[in-house]
Amino acid sequence: TGGAAREPDLAGLRILVTAGGTREPIDPVRYLGNRSSGRQGVAIAAAAADRGAKVVLFAANIDSAVLSEVQDRAAVRVVPVGTAAELERAARAAAAGAEVIIMAAAVADYRVEDVAEQKIRKEDSAGAAPVLQLVENPDILVGLVHQRRPGQVIVGFAAETVEHEDELVERGRRKLARKGADLLAVNAVSWSEGFEAGENTLHVLSSDGRPATVASGTKRVVADELLDVVRETLDS
């Protein structure tokens, strides 16, 4: 289903895709989360499978309606994950078995240091608002870059709030240099754009910081254009 028939130019490749947004627990009923819907990552998983790849999709809190795009594809294995720590364990264990890693997930930068065993109750806090002590999560992408196997292509994602497109690419360049990934796909987000939308504009930067392509259109079209760059990077 979905997408025009095309050459199976990713046949024989194992592609690991992370998508969605991690949730970091506060207590048994609450979490810190983000607005990532997982749509772009799911579209990448679907597109890669349609081009012949075997895909493992680590799905962080993705709505079943969004996941339905890949549910009927035998070539996509969906593995649900919740927190950044779960995603890190799963991704590290699977990384050695993949030629390509695409880190589309929005990983929480911080988690709550001491998760409350019981629900935090107003009755127990005597009118004082609770203060959450946060600790930084490990950078999963940087960890994967450090354990990268020869020839493996690792793609990072960055959703940035910016005032100008120049700033978008400039921030992307710096982030790419910091992380050491092979490609970085950058898109602009705001209160109103980028999350639930069916359309997306992705600036794909190569490891030297140069723009490899600007992909615009449905998340599926953007996914295929990103995979074109991945294919070229594998070949280079």
**Within 153-182, which residues bind Ca ion (CB under 5 A)?**
none
User: Which one of the spans 42-50, 93-101, 134-142, 222-230 is the region binding ligand CTP (CB under 6 A)?
Assistant: 134-142
Query: What is the sign of the dihedral through the CA atoms of 142, 152, 16 and 190?
Result: positive
Q: Considering only residues 98 through 127, tell me which ones interact with Ca ion, judged by CB under 5 A.
A: 109
- Determine how β-strand 199-206 pairs with β-strand 183-188: antiparallel
Query: Is the Cβ of residue 36 or residue 200 nearer to Ca ion in the bound state?
Result: 36
- Which is catalytic among the residues 34, 137, 187, 200? 34
CA 145 distance to own-chain centroid? 15
Residue 87 CB, nearest approach to ligand CTP (Å): 8
Minimum distance of ligand CTP from residue 128's CB (angstroms): 30
Number of residues that bind ligand CTP (CB under 6 A): 13
Residue 197 CA to residue 82 CA, distance in Å, equals 23
Query: Which residue among 157, 169, 200, 213 contacts ligand CTP (CB under 6 A)?
Result: 157
Q: Fill in the DSSP letter of residue 129.
A: P
Partner in contact with 141, chosen from ligand CTP, Ca ion, none, beta carbon below 5 to 8 Å by kind: ligand CTP
* Sequence-ordered alpha helix ranges (H) in the chain: 39-50, 64-71, 84-95, 140-146, 165-179, 219-235
Q: Give the CA dihedral 163, 176, 136, 23, nearest 10 degrees.
A: 70
Strand partners for 204: 185, 213
Q: Which is nearer to ligand CTP, 121 or 146 (CB)?
A: 146
Binding segment toward ligand CTP, per CB under 6 A, in 24-32, 121-129, 133-141, 212-220: 133-141
DSSP 85: H
CB of 143 to Ca ion, least distance (A): 14
Q: Residue 137 catalytic?
A: no
Backbone angles phi, psi at 119, to 5 degrees: -55, 135
Q: Pull the structure tokens for residue 78.
A: 């969906």
Could you give phi then psi for residue 99, rounded to 5 degrees?
-85, -25
- Active site (catalytic) residues: 34
- Residue ranges binding ligand CTP (CB under 6 A): 84, 103, 105, 107, 109, 137, 139-141, 156-158, 175
Binding-site annotation: residue ranges for CTP: 109, 119, 138-141, 157, 175, 179
